[in-house]
């Protein structure tokens, strides 16, 4: 499979910084500076999403403190300038199936959080991540878990906005096929975070 070249200037600017510092610690501030729009000097709100995509979509091994204790929170490190393999070949949903999925979804993002649907519709402005919402098909079971994907079964698919596509991808480490517990807790609703917090306190006897 041909490697995709990172498109989009924010992603390219972040990658350029990381490539200039392979094996070195790069801070959140450095990444934000690199991601800034060269004209407006504004830090794009979605810089972290673009950074995540360099991992999930382009195969760059970018470590954070959830990968190694050598890194503190808000520190990152690109391990190698050569990207690794990108998660297995993607099965593409068929056009009629996608039309059915979209119709069932009411043309809105189906991500559920706190018992509530995201519900963002294509063309709307994402109030959290910024940018225009685009809905894309998501296979409910990650490829690393179930490689037998049926492109014609609307029950296997859902419609997600870009922010929730990235969030879901971050829940799975494509290199190990394991759940990324830290990312799940980070994205969880406050009540769930509280429950985890109480569990951890009792687990560590604090
Ligand atoms: Zn969404």
- 202 alpha carbon – ligand 1 mean position (Å): 34
The answer to whether the CB of 47 falls within 8 A of the CB of 35 is yes
Distance CA 28, CA 61 (A): 16
- 108 alpha carbon – ligand 1 mean position (Å): 8
Burial class (CB in 10 A: 0-12, 13-18, 19+), 26: buried
pLDDT over 50 (residue 1): no
- 176 alpha carbon – ligand 1 mean position (Å): 26
- 13 alpha carbon – ligand 1 mean position (Å): 26
For residue 8, the model assigns a pLDDT of 63
pLDDT over 80 (residue 90): no
- 157 alpha carbon – ligand 1 mean position (Å): 14
Distance CA 160, CA 176 (A): 24
Phi then psi for residue 53, to 5 deg, are: -65, -30
pLDDT over 70 (residue 96): yes
Rounded mean pLDDT, 28-36: 96
For residue 147, the model assigns a pLDDT of 64
Q: Residues 97-119: pLDDT tens digits? A: 999 999 999 999 999 877 889 99
Q: Residues 77-89: pLDDT tens digits? A: 999 999 887 655 5
Distance CA 132, CA 127 (A): 10
Q: pTM (2 decimals)?
A: 0.53
- 101 alpha carbon – ligand 1 mean position (Å): 15
């Amino acid at each position: 499979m041909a490697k995709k070249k990172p498109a989009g200037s924010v992603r390219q600017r972040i990658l350029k910084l990381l490539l200039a510092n392979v094996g070195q610690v790069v801070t959140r501030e450095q990444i934000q500076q690199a991601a800034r729009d060269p004209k407006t000097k504004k830090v794009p709100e979605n810089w972290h999403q673009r950074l995540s995509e360099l991992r999930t979509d382009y195969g760059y091994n970018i470590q954070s403190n959830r990968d190694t204790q050598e890194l503190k929170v808000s520190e990152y490190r690109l391990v190698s300038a050569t990207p690794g393999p990108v998660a297995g070949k993607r099965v593409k949903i068929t056009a009629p199936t996608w039309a059915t999925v979209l119709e069932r979804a009411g043309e809105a993002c189906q991500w559920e959080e706190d018992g509530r649907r995201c519900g963002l519709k294509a063309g709307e402005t994402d109030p959290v991540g910024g940018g225009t919402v685009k809905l894309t098909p998501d296979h409910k079971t990650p490829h690393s878990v179930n490689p037998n994907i049926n492109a014609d079964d609307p029950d296997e698919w859902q419609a997600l906005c870009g922010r929730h596509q990235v969030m879901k991808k971050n829940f799975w480490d494509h290199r190990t096929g394991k759940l990324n517990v830290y990312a799940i807790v980070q994205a969880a609703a406050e009540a769930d975070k509280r429950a985890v917090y109480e569990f951890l306190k009792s687990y560590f006897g604090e």
